[in-house]
């Protein structure tokens, strides 16, 4: 009798918003990384990352600046276009940089259109004030990710890069802001540098909202890290919430595979080492 031939592995399907929501409902963790060019986007995509963020963090890790504020819409669009050419499956999000959406809702739509034409499937904006902007964009067919907690574009107004929502009043305020953004139609929310208990509360109070944490504990839908931090190649001191997945060697794809596996099995972030 002839030996059976092993079945070919199933072709990985492109990640959609529906797929991300299904992962949330099923309790499957979402692994996200930033990306700024086609080569690293392809490597991360091949390694199984679920989503890529064309982030304004490029101002710090690519351009060498001290903040994200100087980054322009044209610069983000250029890098998003590069990432879009490299990705094959991952859901692609783009940051609306500082000064590209605050002036008016109409400005936010024009800027979102620029990023959509560059290949973005979702745009991300920062701040609790933006609920009506979110509603305006969603009504016009733009898929939106909000960002609360430490918002890098306004870090100086928050007293620098520090944990947000530590006291009861601040936690209640952030939870209320998250509900308002979800009610306005935000499909995703990045929570940065907030206590794990607060992030857990936000996810529980908004069960249909895809909450992605960075320095926010593991009891949310998924995790995001800056690619350069995750690989251990950032020159600046690493934040507490970062784990260097490149330390074990094996190249970029292997490092990303370790990151994806750790997010999926819940070993990252560690409740002691990486959370507040």
Question: Could you read off the pLDDT of 2-39 as tens digits, one per residue?
Answer: 444 444 446 789 999 999 999 999 999 999 999 999 99
Q: Give the residue from 126, 162, 131 showing the smallest Cα distance to 147.
A: 126
* C-alpha Rg value of the chain to the nearest Å: 18
Question: Which residues, including other chains, have CB under 8 Å from residue 198's CB and lie 6 or more apart?
Answer: 165, 171, 174, 175, 191, 216
Do the Cβ atoms of 224 and 34 come closer than 8 Å?
yes
Q: Is 37 annotated as belonging to a binding site? A: no
Calculate the alpha carbon distances from 63 to 121, 148, 220, 261 in Å. 24, 24, 31, 30
Distance CA 228, CA 145 (A): 22
> Dihedral sign, CA of 266, 252, 48, 10?
negative
Question: DSSP states of 224-265 as a string?
Answer: EE-HHHHHT--SSPPPTT---TTTT-S-HHHHHHHHHHHHHH
Beta strands in 55-193 (DSSP E): 91-95, 122-126, 144-149, 188-192
Q: What is the pLDDT of residue 237?
A: 86
Please state the pTM of the whole predicted model: 0.94
Distance CA 94, CA 76 (A): 8
Q: Is 74 annotated as belonging to a binding site? A: no
Residue numbers of the chain with a pLDDT score lower than 70: 1-10, 156-160
Q: Report helix, strand or coil for 186.
A: coil
Distance CA 212, CA 220 (A): 6
Distance CA 264, CA 176 (A): 29
Do the Cβ atoms of 59 and 68 come closer than 8 Å?
yes
Q: Is 254 annotated as belonging to a binding site? A: no
Q: What is the pLDDT of residue 3?
A: 46
Q: What is the pLDDT of residue 12?
A: 86
Catalytic residues: 192
Q: Is 13 annotated as belonging to a binding site? A: no
Q: What is the pLDDT of residue 6?
A: 43
Q: Is 124 annotated as belonging to a binding site? A: yes
The CATH number of 17-265 is 3.20.20.60
Q: What is the pLDDT of residue 10?
A: 60
């Amino acid at each position: 009798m002839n030996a059976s031939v092993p079945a070919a592995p199933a072709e990985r399907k492109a990640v959609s918003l529906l797929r991300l929501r299904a992962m949330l409902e099923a309790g499957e963790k979402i692994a996200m990384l930033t990306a700024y060019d086609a080569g690293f986007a392809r490597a991360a995509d091949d390694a199984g990352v679920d989503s890529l963020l064309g982030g304004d963090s490029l101002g710090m890790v690519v351009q060498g600046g001290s903040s994200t504020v100087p980054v322009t819409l044209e610069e983000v669009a250029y890098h998003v276009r590069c990432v879009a050419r490299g990705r094959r499956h991952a859901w692609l999000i783009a940051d609306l940089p500082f000064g590209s959406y605050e002036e008016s809702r109409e400005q936010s739509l024009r800027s979102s259109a620029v990023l959509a034409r560059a290949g973005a499937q979702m745009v991300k904006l920062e701040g609790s004030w933006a609920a009506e902007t979110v509603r305006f964009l969603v009504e016009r067919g733009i898929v939106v990710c909000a960002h609360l907690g430490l918002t890098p574009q306004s870090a100086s107004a928050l007293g620098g890069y520090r944990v947000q929502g530590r006291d009861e009043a601040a936690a209640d305020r952030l939870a209320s802001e998250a509900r308002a953004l979800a009610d306005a139609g935000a499909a995703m929310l990045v929570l940065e540098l907030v206590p794990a208990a607060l992030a857990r509360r936000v996810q529980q109070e908004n069960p249909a909202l895809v909450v992605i944490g960075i320095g926010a504990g593991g009891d949310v839908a998924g995790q995001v890290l800056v690619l350069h931090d995750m690989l251990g190649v950032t020159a600046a001191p690493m934040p507490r919430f970062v784990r260097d997945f490149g330390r074990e060697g094996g190249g970029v794809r292997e490092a990303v595979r370790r990151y994806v596996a750790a997010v999926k099995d819940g070993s990252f972030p560690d409740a002691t080492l990486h959370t507040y």
